[in-house]
Chains A and B, each alone.
Chain A
Amino acid sequence: MNDLMPVAVFFGSIFTSNILLANYLGMCSFLSVSKEIETSAGLGAAVIFVMAVTTALNWLVYNYILLPLGLDYLRFIVFIVVIAGFVQLVEMIIERISEGLYAALGIFLPLITVNCAILGVSLFMVIRNYNFINSFFFGLGSGIGWFLAIMAMAGIRKKIAGSRIPRGLEGAGITLIIAGMMALAFMGFSGMINVT
């Protein structure tokens, strides 16, 4: 029933409907973590991975378990449990197999459960009626979009670190203004891909 192409969903979710800049999701960790480039890269990478997998998992759970049983009204609880469980599992696996990876990603994983972008993507996928392939690419694209946005922000914040900013705008204020300008720039991408 859905004529949206996965490619369009993928690029759309990276650029035109960037999960952070157009849908405002994942702002809390975005504002606090974007001070440093390395931390941003770590968190961004973890978000891409978790978002792509949990969106696909939640699609399966929603369409094969919740809908047939008529329990779709429980989706908020179920989605968050799936996300929390998956994050916990990944943390355990990484901890056991690779110390380097754990040192790089491990500390970010608990942060992710409360990142509203992850749950948000799963909820959007239900509301927009995506099929499985589209859902996966939507999750992946949204993660990449989030990664791009936080990396760009971290870079800009590093550049302006020495600049003189009105006192009231220091910290959150200036970050929000930069985010606003980035949102404007990302809006320029709309119309880039034609879905017919």
Chain B
Amino acid sequence: MIVETGHFALVLALAVALVQSLVPLWGAAQGDVALQRVAAPAALMQFALVTVAFLALIWAYLTSDFSVQNVVENSHSAKPLIYKISAVWGNHEGSMLLWVFILALFGAAAAVVGQDMPLRQRANTLAAQGWISTAFLLFILLTSNPFARLDPAPLEGRDLNPILQDPGLAIHPPLLYIGYVGFSIAFSFAAGALLSGRIDAAWARWTRPWLLVAWIFLTLGIAMGSYWAYYELGWGGFWFWDPVENASLMPWLSGTALLHSIIVMEKRDALKVWTLFLAIVSFSLSLLGTFLVRSGVLTSVHAFATDPARGVFILGILIVFIGGSLALYAWRAPMLKQGGLFAPISREGALVLNNLFLSAATATVFVGTLYPLALEATTGEKISVGAPFFNLTFGPLFLALLMIVPFGQSLAWKRGDLAAVAQRLVAAGVVALVAGALVWAYASGGSAVAALGAALSVFVIVGSFIELASRAWRSGGGLGLALRRAAGLPLSAWGTAMAHAGLGVTLLGLSATWWGAEKILTAKAGETLEIAGYQIKVDALTPRSGSNYTEMVAPMQVFRDGVKIATIEPSKRNYTTRKMPTTEAGIATIGLGQVYVALADESTPGEIGMRLYWKPLVLLIWIGSLVMSLGGALSLADRRLRIGVARRAAPRAAVPAE
């Protein structure tokens, strides 16, 4: 019964979403207040219904209801509780339901928070949110129903794909989807603004917190996915420039550009039309990401069995939304009042440069990801575009962007003084050069790339905080005053510095990969191996079993100069239900670096084949992402950014809703 209730709730949600997409729009066009007021309750209602459906599916998983096909295919009664829940979104149907659930959540939140907005704009925005809901609810109900029943019901389920049975993957999709779907709000705000023909600094203030939330979660989601791939796939890599990864990187890049351009719009009332364009592009790229992952048109290492019919449907959604929104943009954008031009040497000029580099970087990733598809469709030739391509195109653009980050951050609005900024950054430059030289000396015969990367990352980190320091440190103040001043700086300034420093931290982790070590070898029990100054004593293979798998573990002890510092247990697992083997890497974290061991199949008895890595500073790659997200959160916490505060501060004039 509960399962049918879930299905029925989803159908009702579709009906409500249809009302939400059409009625407020008509109301806005006719100037009918009552019709426009339908938008908010409809968004809340839709959220309630989708929640019921989502909970119903979770319930089916928790109770291992094997009359539901989706549960049979992805669950097993012996599976640990956390994976029963995460299995809900560890498959196509369930993950689309999660997508719609988050979409409805954002819609409802926008309905509640957006009460300060002019009624007309709010009605248009929520209607746009309704269109997206309608499309995806239709998609679920017509092609991917998670509530389909099986008759007769099997006694046991087929279990979740073993590599998804991991805490990292339990939270990766929700994080990523909050990021993807969060951009839908920026999209709807843009569509609402285009429909209303009204766009100003207030629009930027309304949109920016939503954008920040989406960006924070997307950053965390990408980092989580990358760390998961690193430790779970046993390849020792963390980013493969695979289409599915690129699909999440593209909205992140354009979203980052949007986050910067919207600041210019808020502060200087400029770049309006461009910002709207980026809002449309960011969500379009999120949709494209969903399409690439769900349709299987691209060969990806992360591909799961896919269904072409669904791909065609999502392609349809893609064409309607991207085509439709760009058409709306082409039609309405010229009618918007353009903002003014400004001096190239200024904070806003630097932000434009940031946008140029980020857009160009997005474009290179886009070309590298989709060119093989276009080529195959037109000529039938099959190519793959991998890391060398992206290192050569995306790499230089992004490094150039990082070079200008500290400059941009330190330039003043309207008219900046580049010479003064350069003078302030001399200290950062010196520290960076010293760091680069140290790396060059330490990794003797090491790559110049590593030294340059390290120097650049140190420049970005130090440069990010120099601006704060120079604002806090006034001559004759003394340290106490400077600290008090620093504490008194707006949270958004701290947020900016943190986010930029995080970027530097990640780059430092990436640069360190150049001086790591890697060995492929075969060892016998009792043997001691050596990598980068660490000794690894290999014990005999021992069998072990978990609740739904058996494994062969090769316990190893890691020593440094005769002192034992860690024990690791790399293993080869075999998940009994699916008869699927997985490699569980053994990882010893030493400071910020890791000793990483992945086992091979046992070929000759008594011999253990393995791949051994020393990965210095590798954790910085993900710590940097966390720092970036923290920066975003600080910026979000800044009260000055909230529209309500500005309004409350202003004298309350009676403003009737249009």
Q: A and B: real partners?
A: no
Binding site for B on A (CB under 8 A): none
Binding site for A on B (CB under 8 A): none
